[in-house]
Every structure is written in C-alpha cells, then in structure tokens.
A = this chain, B = another copy of it.
Amino acid sequence: MQNFDFYNPTRIVFGAGTIASLARLVPQTARVLVLFGGASAEKTGTLAEVRQALGERFVQEFGGIEPNPSYETLMRAVEQVRREKLDFLLAVGGGSVIDGAKFVAAAADHEGDPWNIMETGGASVTGALPFGTVLTLPATGSEMNNGSVVTLKATHTKLPFRSVHVFPQFSVLDPTKTYTLPEKQVANGLVDAFVHITEQYLTYPVQALAQDRFAEGLLQTLVEIAPRAIAAPEDYATRSNLMWTASLALNGLIGAGVPQDWATHMIGHELTALYDIDHARTLAIVLPAVLDIQRDKKRDKLLQYGERVWGITAGSEEQRIDAAIAATRHFFEGLGIPTRLSAYGLGMAAVNDVVGQLGAHGMTRLGEHGDVDLALSRAILETAL
C-alpha cells in the first residue's frame, strides 16, 4: 500500500424525504444562492421543495448552468454573488451544477483573474464560500469530493481543479429525485461511476487489499443494478444503490493508497470539448482502448478484475484479459452507450485533432506510470476507432 492522506468532511444526508433537512443544514442567517441547471429542477418540484426547506432565509437563484459548465456562465454567478453579498451556495442538480458551484465558491473571493484557478489546477485557491448540494443525478461523485471540471467555451478548454476548500459541507441524496431522469442520463451515470472506479483500480497491484475489494464491490454493485436502474425508474432500492455507489466511486476512499490512471478521463475531456459528446460517453469510448493498449502494464489487475467482477477464470492470460475488456465493452453497449469513435462519425481526423489538443493542454504524461505520451494517446484513440 502506498502512503496516503485521506480527508473527506462532507456530510451525507441520505434517503427519501431528506430535502427537508436543508432547514437545519443551511445556516439560519445565510444569504443563499441556489444554483441549478435546466428546467427539470423546477418541473420535477425539487426546487419547490428546496425553497420550502429554506424558509425565511434570504435566497436568490441562478439557473442555466449547462452540462460541462462553462467559465463564461459561472462568472455571471460569481458576479451575482459579489454584487448581492451572498455567502452560502446551494447546488441543486448533478455533477455539472455541483462542479459549477465549486468554481463559484472558489472564485467569489479569488484575488486576480479567476481563470487562474483552472490554470493552477486549484493551487491558487486560498478559501471558498461554504456550500452544500442537493443531488438529483448520480454519476460524477462531485457531491462528496473536492474536484471540479470547468470548460472555457471560447477555446474549447476543459480543465479540472481541486482544492481542500471546495468539499461540500453537506450533500442531500434523495434517491426519489432520480425517478424522473431520462434513461440516457441514468445510463451515463452508471458508466461514469464505473469508469471512476476502474481508474483507481485497474493499474498495478500494491497489496492494497481492502481498496481492491471495495472497488470490486462497487463494480459488482453497478453491474448488478444496471438492468433495473434502466428498466424500473421508481425502484427505490435500485436507485438508492446507484446513488450511494456513485458517491463512493469518487470520494477519495478507494483511491487512497493506490496508483491511479486518469488517462481515460483526460482523453475523454478533449472529446467532449471538441465534439460535445456527453462526458460519460467519452469514457466508454476511451476506457476499453486504454485497457487494451496498456494490457501488459495492467496485466495483474486486469486478470483480477476479470475473475472477481466478471467471473472469468478460463483460458490463457491473454484470453482472460480479452474477455474482461469485452465484458466491459458489452456492459457499456448494453446500456445503449457506444464504445467506438465511429459511432459518432469520428475517424482519423478526430484522432489527429484530439492528439493536438492533448498536446496543447500539456497532457503528455498520463497514466499510472506517466508514460502515456502523445504517441500512446494516438494508439489508444486509433484502437477506439
């Protein structure tokens, strides 16, 4: 096991009916900005529940945070926070709204150009407004971590930042709020959580036994619940497991003390920024190709993954690895999510463009060994054609 520093102070309030607990979770004297995305938060009644729980507090709202939240949009929220002297943020939505709230929280008091937060990966953040979240879309895990991804639309630049100051104070997870999600978003969420786990698990063994078991347990859970998560939107048990599993997938726990490989995410970000493919869908394209190209360096973990998650024990090592990758691909495709660039009409020109963007963004040493340079990224993308 590698040395690690684990810290996660986010309170999770989980279960049906828990939005009412905002009444005690948000400070009585807070001047609140409620951030949300599109019209669904209003239509589903979630915003109404939030307003009721906040009661007599001073509350303003900021809607229209888009998927892959943009710097341009978020800076308008920052201006509102500053102008109205708001001091508490409440994100109501999925990962994009929560990521956006983290940026707004960090940027509100930031000295100098807030884009600097992104350029330094969060290192320039010295404080942030307190904030909480009401999660409506289980997928990114942003509700229980201190990471955020923001896109500068002007240059198609999608960058992550991280800071100890942007852990949510609390996140309210009410599985019934996911009942009205479009099937596509549920499928995306399953894939997003799945890939978060593999990126902290499918590297090389360091005898971190509990972390491996936890990662495998979460993967098994996703595989087990996926059919009903799609087919039975109002199955409370299934949606509960989806929601909590997606949070556990990226709250720092399974990544503590183990090597990590975020190559899939970094390459995927470029696909989203260039072609506006849903984040999770980019991961489904890239992950199988990463596993295939890196199969020698990931050999031991791929074999373990095949056996413990998919029950693959027969055949040679190469056959078992092939089968594990095929099972992964089949899982994604079974959710209606393609695993090839060609499904989006993308070919060699896209490979060139993505490699160009990776170079422009300094993404030249990806992977758990830092060996995924532009040539290897190109090979991965070609494998994903």
Binding site for B on A (CB under 8 A): 1-18, 207-210, 212-214, 216-218, 220-221, 224-225, 237, 240-241, 244-245, 248, 253, 256-257
Contacts and interface: CB of A to CB of B under 8 A. Distances in A.
20 contacts: A1-B240, A3-B14, A3-B15, A4-B12, A5-B12, A6-B12, A6-B14, A7-B10, A7-B12, A9-B9, A207-B240, A207-B241, A209-B224, A209-B225, A212-B217, A213-B213, A217-B217, A240-B257, A244-B257, A253-B253
Contacts of A10: 7
Given A217-B216, A248-B210, A14 B240 contact: no
Contacts of A14: 1, 3-6, 256-257
User: Assembly of this chain: how many copies?
Assistant: 2
A332 to B, nearest CB: 20
Contacts of A241: 1, 207-210
Contacts of A253: 253
Closest 9 CB pairs of A and B: A213-B217, A3-B15, A9-B9, A207-B237, A7-B11, A1-B240, A6-B12, A209-B221, A209-B241
B13 A5 contact: yes
A9 B9 CA distance: 4
A167 to B, nearest CB: 9
A216 B209 CA distance: 12
A237 B258 CA distance: 13
Contacts of A221: 209-210, 213
A315 B209 CA distance: 30
A220 B213 contact: yes
A14 B383 CA distance: 39
Contacts of A1: 14-15, 237, 240-241, 244
A347 B41 CA distance: 64
A350 B207 CA distance: 44
Contacts of A256: 12, 14
A11 B15 contact: no
A1 B221 CA distance: 13
A24 B314 CA distance: 51
Contacts of A18: 3
Contacts of A207: 237, 240-241
A45 to B, nearest CB: 20
Contact of A11 (B5, B209, B240, B245): B5
A210 B213 CA distance: 11
A200 to B, nearest CB: 15
Nearest to A240: B1
A221 B4 CA distance: 19
A30 B207 CA distance: 37
A307 to B, nearest CB: 14
Contacts of A2: 15
A77 B161 CA distance: 44
A9 B7 CA distance: 7
A11 B4 CA distance: 10
Counting chain B CB atoms within 10 Å of each CB, the highest count among A208, A214, A245 belongs to A214
A237 B211 CA distance: 13
Q: Which of A6, A207, A218, A221 has the most CB of B within 10 A?
A: A6
B210 A218 contact: yes
A210 B253 CA distance: 13
Given A213-B213, A213-B216, A240-B257, 6 more contacts: A3-B15, A6-B14, A208-B241, A209-B220, A210-B221, A212-B217
A15 B12 CA distance: 28
Contacts of A16: 3
